[in-house]
Structure 1
Amino acid sequence: MAKHGLRVIAIAYLFFLLVLPVGLIVWRTFGDGLGPFVEALTSASAVHAFQVTLTVALWAVAANTVFGIGTAILLVRHNFPGKRLLNALIDLPMAVSPVVVGLALILVYGKFAPVGGLLESWGVQVIFSTPGMVLATVFVALPLVVRAVVPVLEELGDEQEQAAHTLGASRLQTFLRITLPGIRWALAYGVVLCLARSLGEYGAVAVVSGRLVDQTQTLTLFVEERFQNFDQPAAFAAATALALIAVITLLLTKFLRPKG
């Protein structure tokens, strides 16, 4: 009896917190047919928001993939002073508010900050442009690839890698032929999670982007801007597109999740 009660509570909780709100958005999106949905997502502002979102997400995923693989190998295969501190710092983005991250980036890379001012003198604008948005997104998605790869590396051990070194293989050859094939599914899982987090990021990006319409506006910022300007069809259409991306990501993570 208690088991059934808990099941009802869990289902009701998810229904009112997740299924009902998202379902209402989808219903409002397609309430007048498919035409308004297509028209909203093919407008110039929406297309530009998609392009900015994809650009920022791809750069963030690329950076976090390289960092994630290197850091995972460093944590699992090597012992060094400060290892525990590094391991703890990797999880920092999970605890810090994205808004705080955005503000911190402005204090470092803003036009009137020492580092930001120097970069501005070299013609590189970070804040209120794509580089700042990429930095913010990299930070919030930082742990995902690392945490997906580390357990698999620990399970694999290093016996095969040591055997390859004994036979004369270089570090690069060992990585490409032994390490990478062994972690490929975990890596793919982490990359998909990182991509999903990057595509849906709002808080940090909202602070560092300046929310400039048709310039530094991602799809999440587009939803907010359209809703505040009473363009509900466009806001609901973009929100539904983000929800569809989330569903696809969920399916991919279920397929790519490392067994065991």
Structure 2
Amino acid sequence: MMRRGLWVAAWALIILVLIMPLAVVLAEALKNGFGPALETLKDPDGIAALWLTVEVTTIAVIANTLFGIAAAWLLTKYRFPGRTSLLVLVELPLSISPVVSGLVWLLLFGAQGWWGPALEEAGIHIAFAIPGIILATVFVTLPYVVRTLVPLMEQQGRDTEEAAALAGAGFWQILWRVTLPGARIALVSGILLTTARAMGEFGAVSVVSGHIPGLTETMPLHIESLYNGYQTVAAFTMAALLACMALATVLLRYAPAFLWRSREVPK
């Protein structure tokens, strides 16, 4: 009885908090029909927001994947003074409000910031430009690859890597042929989590972007602009597209684990 009650409560919460909002977004986007909804996506500012989101997400994912692999290797293979502090710093973006991180970038690179005037004189624009959006997105998505890799790499131990080293393998051979293949599910999971988080980031990007339509508006910012401009169908259509992109990313996250388990099932 208790098990059934928990099952009902869990599904009720999922339907209320997850499924219903997605259904409402889709219903609002299609309330005038499929054609008008698709027509709103042809807006040049909307297309620019879509491509900017893809560009920023791609750069953030590449940067944080490389950083995540390096940081996870350092944290799991070595013991050094300050290791705990490094772990805390890696997780800092999870506990700091994205708006606060956006304000920090403005303090550093804004027109009245510490380094902003000097950079402006050199022709380098960070605040209210794409580099600022990239920096903000990289910051808020920094922990995901590290935090998914560290537990699995710690569980792996060092026996296989030491055996490979004794066999004459170099650092890069050990990393790419021994360590990462054993942690591929965790790595893919971290990359996809980073992707989903980067696509949907609003707070930090909103602060540093300047909300310039067609130039510094990502999809979340463009959705806000459309909604504030009473373009409800266009706003919900863009929101539905973003939700579908995020949902596809989440589903892809579980695909490697599912395929890996299916191979382990005895025939």
Which 4+ stretches in 1 moved above 6 angstroms?
none
Which has the higher mean CA deviation after the structures are superposed, 79-88 or 14-23?
14-23
Paired residues for 1:108-187 under 5 Å? 108-187=108-187
Specify the code of the residue in structure 2 equivalent to 1:128.
F
What CA distance in whole angstroms lies between the structure 2 residues aligned with 1:221 and 1:54? 14
| Contact map agreement 2:192 2:250 (CA 8 A) in 1 | no
**Secondary structure of 1:124 counterpart:** coil
Gaps of 5+ in 1: none
Distance of 1:113 and 1:55 partners within structure 2: 26
Secondary structure in 2 aligned to 1:81? coil
1:86 matched to 2:86? The reply is yes
CA–CA separation in structure 2 for the residues paired with 1:178 and 1:2: 45
What's the counterpart of residue 233 of structure 2? Answer: 233
Q: 1:126 to 1:257 in 2, by over 3 A?
A: farther
Does the Cα contact within 8 Å between 1:108 and 1:115 map onto a contact in 2? yes
Contact 2:75 2:83 in 1 (8 A): yes
**What is the rounded CA distance, in whole Å, between the counterparts of 2:105 and 2:63 in structure 1?**
17
Confirm or deny: 8 A CA contact 1:105 1:208 kept in the other structure: yes
Aligned to 2:51: 51
State the 1:134 CA deviation.
0.7
The answer as to 2:216 corresponding to 1:216 is: yes
RMSD: 1.7
Question: Is there any run of 5+ residues in structure 2 with no aligned partner, and where?
Answer: 262-267
Please state if 1:7 is matched with 2:32: no
Q: CA deviation at 1:112?
A: 2.4
TM-score normalised according to structure 2 size: 0.92
Distance 1:177 1:15, change over 3 A: closer
Task: Render the CA deviation track for 1:55-105: whole Å, top value 9, x for unaligned.
Answer: 111111111001100000000001111000001111111111100110011
Partners of 1:175 and 1:3 in 2: CA distance: 44
Q: Distance in 2 between matches of 1:10 and 1:183?
A: 31
Q: Secondary structure in 1 aligned to 2:183?
A: helix
Where 1:114 maps in the other structure, the secondary structure is coil
> Which has the larger displacement, 184-193 or 198-207?
184-193
Quick one: structure 1 residues 10 and 180, their matched pair in 2 at CA, closer, same or farther if it must change by over 3 Å? closer
Is the contact between residue 109 and residue 116 of structure 2 (CA under 8 Å) also seen in structure 1? yes
CA distance in 2, matches of 1:165, 1:4: 52
Matched residues in 2 for 1:93 and 1:251: separation? 24
Partner of 2:264: none
**TM-score normalised by length of structure 1:** 0.94
Kindly tell me the number of residue pairs found equivalent between the two proteins.
260
Answer yes or no: is 1:198 the counterpart of 2:198. Answer: yes
Residue identity opposite 1:200 in structure 2: G
Offset of residue 257 of structure 1: 4.5
Letter matched to residue 248 of structure 2: I
2:41: which partner in 1? Answer: 41
Q: Secondary structure at the match of 2:212?
A: coil
Q: How does 1:66-105 map to 2 (within 5 A)?
A: 66-105=66-105
Supply the AA of the counterpart residue of 1:163: A
Q: CA deviation at 1:172?
A: 1.7
Structure 1 stretch displaced more, 248-257 or 202-211: 248-257
